Chain A
Amino acid sequence: MANKYLTAALCAATLCIFINKTFAQSSSSFSLNNGEQLTITTNPLTELNRTAIQNIVDDTVFNLDNRAPESLVNQLNSTTDFAAPEWLFSAIAQCERWHQKTESRFSCRNGNLKQYWHDYVHGQGLLERREARKLARSARVAKVTLSADTRQVVTDSELVWDFGDLTQAIILQRIIDYLASQDITAYHLQIGLLNAFSGHDTTWPHQTSLAGNQQSLTLRNTISYEIAPWQQSAYQGSTEQGVISHNDGWPASKFASHVLSENPIDAVVLGYLAASNTSRFVLSLLDSEKQHLALRDQQQRVYYSKHYQAFTGVSPASMQQVKIRVRLPEFDIADYQGPYAAVWITDTENKLLRNLHIRGTGENWLKDLRTWWRKIARKDDSLIDAMSGATMGNKPIEVNWDGLDQYGKDVHLDNLLLHVEIAREHGGRTYKKIPLSIRTDKSPLNVEGENELHSVQIAF
């Protein structure tokens, strides 16, 4: 308690930063002229700062507007060889990297496609899948050359750039850079669902609505972005909801997500990709040490990237750690392939609580896991995409179960069943069901298997 008053006294005398305390300073708003606002929470800004910030906002919004005849993006689109200012060149370069990495599942090249949607929404044209795909393909195969030293962008004459999906992120990045140049190191920036939280000694409270309940997080030194595709129009004014998939021009609503990243553009791109692709695809793009992702599908099931829960401090009231280790036999056979495996937890009525692990990606082969396939996967379209991964020979399967069900909620039961099923091409199929009493009996278990299963060890 005394500490708090001492700190407060010090702070009254000097402009200071609270240590490990949440930051409550003044908020300023800057309008983006399309109804959106940029809100900055930081130490009071000088008039000079405010003017500069509003200028950056106006400059970015204007210059990324395809409909403003004098904008930079229009100049870029009217010539095949264009020298861009640093902030725009940096955005183009990052966007092109994502374009390349994801085979155009994210793209800043889809101006023609966006125009096609615009015409449709304004009653001036039809919306046809084939045409949309054709426009997306055209943008994808166009040749673009970037020269970092001269900030030159050379493009096909057909290509129309569109940065609409990244405008918020680009604004944020420019403001972050400006604040750094002014030695303003403690801030919270927000446009819509895109937030930038500064680092150093400041932490920030933040609410997300993933997994159906409000989560209160404490964040610092990160960009946070949320998107729920089925709650938004694919194109402004359209009845179709979702996000427009950049690779085929059609709306998609795969996952809602909460993304944490070091970089605003990365955060927005990952959220967009989660909205329009399989979870396996998006998770494969993450640098899981530096980027974190929580996904929620339309059935309210949640999936977390490796360190999301640790990074955000999200955890249930009674966080279990059930350590499960499935050992596979050490055959000495030349053609030991796969095997395919599924590990899942149900209640005593075999009602699914959570799928923990799947090895194998081909639906044709996963069907050999007869029990799992019949009872779980067959009813569930998206499950294999969400969870399956490469087979790994006879490397043991190691899973830590955090006691949450597939909806991210605490499992309040004591008696559960752990199911393990293994199938191997040119081998057999072994299925084992292991009863657990996770609250009343925490003694470690060692269950011997047979055939394709060596043993299962469970520790609490």
Chain B
Amino acid sequence: MRTRASLLILTALTAPQALLAAPHSASGIILTYDLNQDQKLPLEEFVAARRDRFAATDTDNNGIVDESEYVYEWEGKITQRFAEDRKASVKQTHVRFKAIDKDEDGFISPEELNAIGQRGFDYMDADKDGLILASDPEPKRRGESDKKDKKADEKPQRTLAQRPLLRMPTTHSIKGFMDLYDSNGDEKVTQEEFQNVRDEHFKRSDENNDGLLTEQEYVLEFEDRLDKQIEKSYEAQVKQAYVRFGVLDKNEDKAMTFSEYMQSGFRSFTRHDTNEDGLISLEDPIYKRKPKSESKKDEDKQGDTATVIAKATR
């Protein structure tokens, strides 16, 4: 298994953790098509915005979206999202630096970094045996004990926010922890293995070898890993766009007509309009993928919608 040396990000685990507002599952579609920015997406608004988007994607104006136009349009969208995600991630890194620099002397010493590291290791090591196994249970999330004060029927707050496209390896789960620290791929992380990875990270960041990390050293090393991850994720996104086009291009003529484009949009709309009121908003219950037996019902529903669409796009 390839060694992926990334720093354990622990401030999120050690600072008091409120129940974070997760993005609503329909955020993507709302944010993309909500022209009047009232955080609600009625069918009419969606149709209008989807039409505009087809026109914008069809750059040679021949009434067809071909594969390259489709992928090019997607690339434009994700470039912006990656830029926003990147900015937020770098900002967090500066915050993290200040949190790790406990004595606020402007440097992270090996002791300060190890202190954070040990807290993270201990947090993962539920049975406190100095060893973390791939088969270990997930650690109890901090703040969970506060939950018992919450009413059973209280819904968690959902926000209208894009899910980040950019995800760095995380240590909030056993799998994430293994990915980062299990250097020899033996499905367990010993203290020694853990410390080696962290020492390597320190050394790699310490440009002038003075045994201390400045904010710049810390952040620039993170940016190296961040940009590598962006490159990987970007390529994956582009690949997926080709795949998506392939799926939608049922007759394989590498051309998507306006009607096909609108229909694919409608399928998406229907999926997220979970309360079936012709409007997508934060009020819709979160969309959950249904098991196969129910998907037939969905197809019928989409058939009805397809009729409506066909009428609308004539």
Contact = CB atoms under 8 A, between A and B. Distances in A.
B224 A130 contact: yes
A235 to B, nearest CB: 20
B223 A140 contact: no
Interface in A167-218: none
Given A130-B227, A361-B98, A364-B99, A103 B220 contact: no
Contacts of A133: 220, 223-224, 227
A159 B15 CA distance: 44
Given A129-B227, A137-B220, A247-B216, A362 B208 contact: no
A246 to B, nearest CB: 11
A363 interface: yes
B228 interface: yes
Interface in A227-266: 247-248
Contacts of B11: 364
A190 B216 CA distance: 35
Interface in B178-235: 207-208, 214, 216, 220, 223-224, 227-228, 231
A141 interface: yes
Interface in A124-153: 129-130, 133, 137, 140-141
B168 interface: no
B227 A362 contact: no
B19 interface: no
Nearest to B228: A130
Given A103-B214, A141-B207, A364 B220 contact: no
B95 interface: yes
A388 to B, nearest CB: 11
A130 B207 CA distance: 16
Interface string A41-67: 000000000000000000000000000
Contacts of A248: 220, 223
A364 B91 CA distance: 12
B207 A363 contact: no
Contact of A362 (B95, B207, B223, B231): B95
B216 A362 contact: no
B98 to A, nearest CB: 5
Interface in B1-17: 11, 15
Interface residues of A, number: 13
A279 to B, nearest CB: 15
Contacts of B224: 130, 133
A142 to B, nearest CB: 11
B223 A364 contact: no
A141 B216 CA distance: 13
Contacts of A141: 207-208
B235 to A, nearest CB: 14
A247 B220 contact: yes
A133 B216 CA distance: 12
Interface string A362-401: 1110000000000000000000000000000000000000
A364 B15 contact: yes
A302 to B, nearest CB: 23
Contacts of A103: 214, 216
A362 B98 CA distance: 7
Contacts of B207: 137, 140-141
A448 B64 CA distance: 72
Contacts of A364: 11, 15, 95, 98-99
A37 to B, nearest CB: 37
B313 to A, nearest CB: 38
Nearest to B99: A364
Interface string A70-107: 00000000000000000000000000000000010000
Nearest to B216: A103
A252 to B, nearest CB: 12
Contacts of B99: 362, 364
A374 B239 CA distance: 41
A248 B216 CA distance: 10
Contacts of A137: 207, 220
Interface in A329-343: none
Nearest to A363: B95
A207 B228 CA distance: 46
A171 B41 CA distance: 61
A248 to B, nearest CB: 6
Contacts of B223: 129, 133, 248
B277 to A, nearest CB: 32
A200 B193 CA distance: 69
A362 B207 CA distance: 25
Contacts of B231: 130
B18 to A, nearest CB: 11
Contacts of A361: 98
A113 to B, nearest CB: 14
A103 B213 CA distance: 12
Contacts of A129: 223, 227
A137 to B, nearest CB: 7
A129 to B, nearest CB: 5
A133 B220 CA distance: 8
Interface of B: 11, 15, 95, 98-99, 207-208, 214, 216, 220, 223-224, 227-228, 231
Given A103-B216, A140-B207, 20 more contacts: A103-B214, A129-B223, A129-B227, A130-B227, A130-B228, A130-B231, A133-B220, A133-B223, A133-B224, A133-B227, A137-B220, A141-B208, A247-B216, A248-B220, A362-B95, A362-B98, A362-B99, A363-B95, A364-B95, A364-B99
18 contacts: A129-B223, A129-B227, A130-B224, A130-B227, A130-B228, A130-B231, A133-B223, A133-B227, A137-B207, A141-B208, A247-B216, A361-B98, A362-B98, A362-B99, A363-B95, A364-B11, A364-B15, A364-B99
Interface of A: 103, 129-130, 133, 137, 140-141, 247-248, 361-364
Which 8 residue pairs are nearest across A and B when measured between Cβ atoms? A130-B227, A362-B98, A129-B227, A103-B216, A141-B207, A363-B95, A103-B214, A247-B216
